[in-house]
């Protein structure tokens, strides 16, 4: 019984890598952008939405770098329209 309590108390937090700056951070510190099975690209606030996801730092600089280098398009395996890029920038800045 004592070992189970110790194991649960030392549980590691999931780590993810930002696709722009390549820094490893806790999953909760990053925002997730998802391509849903329907093909729509959205910002996933819950971190549990179904689909192909990519993680970014919550900074405008990382988003700009990911868009400029097309890292976001490669990670989602889908080209992004200019409208969608603008929408993501607005949502991330909120």
Confidence (pLDDT) at 3: 52
What pTM, to 2 d.p., does this model score? 0.84
Digit-coded pLDDT (tens) for 25-50: 999 999 999 999 999 999 999 999 99
**C-alpha distances in angstroms, 32 versus 9, 17, 24?**
27, 11, 14
Positions of the chain with pLDDT under 70: 1-9
Task: State the pLDDT at residue 1.
Answer: 46
């Amino acid at each position: 019984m004592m070992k189970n309590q110790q194991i649960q108390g030392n549980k590691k937090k999931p780590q993810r890598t930002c696709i722009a700056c390549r820094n490893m951070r806790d999953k909760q510190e990053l925002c997730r952008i998802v391509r849903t099975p329907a093909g729509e690209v959205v910002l996933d606030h819950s971190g549990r939405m179904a689909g192909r996801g990519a993680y970014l730092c919550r900074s405008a600089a990382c988003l700009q770098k990911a868009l400029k280098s097309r890292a976001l398009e490669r990670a989602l395996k889908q080209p992004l329209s200019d409208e969608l890029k603008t929408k993501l920038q607005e949502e991330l800045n909120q």
